Amino acid sequence: MRVIDKRWIKLEEGYNQLKYLSARFDAEWKRPVQVAQRRKHKQEYTVWKSNRRIFLSVAIGVFLVFSLLCGLAFFSEEWGLKCLYSFLTISILLGGIGFGLVSRSFIRSIFARPEMENYFPLSQQLVELWWKSLEPRFQTAQNPGDEGVYGFIDLLAANLPNSYIVVSEILTSKRKITDTDVLLLGPSGLWVFEVKHWYGVIHKKDGKWWQRISNRRIDHLQENGERKQGPDEQWLNQVREITTTIKRRRPDVAWVTEHIQGGIVFSNPEARLDQRHIIGSRASYGRPKHWLNRILKAYPDKNLTLEVQLQVLDALIEFGLSIERDKIIPVSANLLAERAYQKASQVRSKFVNEWAK
């Protein structure tokens, strides 16, 4: 799964530029790298043959000396010489065992013939470098809510393929400054998640949410005498705002809004969810693994290509940054593709210059 920081814009342009530069990169470096790989293998094979010859010569010599000492110790008639030869024999044997234990990796390398590296598309390194650069920097949990969000993202990243993209804490509404905790795009649609790190028994009744811990009621949605929105209401508002933003900014992919799914993620392992206590929730809810299984089982749509996902993400990120323009400086993913190409070219150039002399 690809994780993207919410400061990146022009993702679709950057990806298209990346595809062009990838083709150019392979055309420029395929033959020089193959030549360098052959020469590298030839040199490694020559060194291996030399080391193997020396090792076998030394091993045979030690074995002959060991055999000679064994014979002398066995046939010697003088007690003093018999003890000396026996001592030398045992010393060589223990020395050989000790050398074998300490140098196991070296001995294995002596008997493992170097293989020619299989050529793989060099552009793959360029692609991975670009995606890696889009990831968030230095994410640390500031509160229990952040811990739940990052833990859920880590679970998704460990189990979903790279055809999925996720961005967290993206603003979706101007009227009420609220953010979408986790926004996931993939072949099965657009998934919107409201993450709550509550624990204890979770309740909803008469339109009100709360926790019960040791017969104590904790209401996180009551603040300064006013009731805040419940997690299901927050999720519904986020879906409405996301739908509006996509239709307004990218009407050509507005059909994606028909594939919006998701709901509430209760991320705390100590949360107790019981349908008898949660009455009238307006959004689906569950634990992180429940949502992971739903995503994995969801039916894919062939029209939800990576390009479409990036178009949707561009619209939502640009909208969010228009609200946070004073806090976050946007960065172009298009320029990032150029920088990734230059960096990858430097790495390939160093390899070729080292081995293709």
Residue bearing tokens 């996902």: 309
Structural domain spans, the chain: 2-25+122-348, 32-111
Q: How far apart are CA 139 and CA 136, in angstroms?
A: 7
Give the pLDDT confidence score for residue 213 in this predicted structure: 84
Distant-in-sequence, close-in-space partners of 43: CB < 8 Å, separation ≥ 6: 355
* pLDDT over 80 (residue 227): no
For every residue of 211-237, DSSP letters joined together read EEETTEEE-TTEETTEEPPPHHHHHHH
Instruction: Specify the pTM.
Output: 0.77
Query: What 8-state DSSP symbol labels residue 137?
Result: S
Q: How far apart are CA 168 and CA 283, in angstroms?
A: 19
Q: Give the E-state strand segments of the chain in sequence order.
A: 2-3, 8-9, 165-171, 179-186, 189-196, 200-205, 208-213, 216-218, 222-223, 226-227, 260-266, 271-272, 285-286, 331-332
Give the pLDDT confidence score for residue 303 in this predicted structure: 92
Least confident range from 62-66, 109-113, 309-313: namely 109-113
* pLDDT over 80 (residue 122): no
Q: Which amino acid makes up residue 159?
A: N
Q: Which of 187, 173, 306 is nearest to 245 (CA)?
A: 173
pLDDT in tens, 88-119: 888 888 887 887 777 778 778 877 888 776 65
Residue bearing tokens 């967290």: 168
Mean confidence (pLDDT) of the chain: 86
Number of other residues whose CB lies within 10 A of the CB of residue 43:
12
Give the pLDDT confidence score for residue 32 in this predicted structure: 85
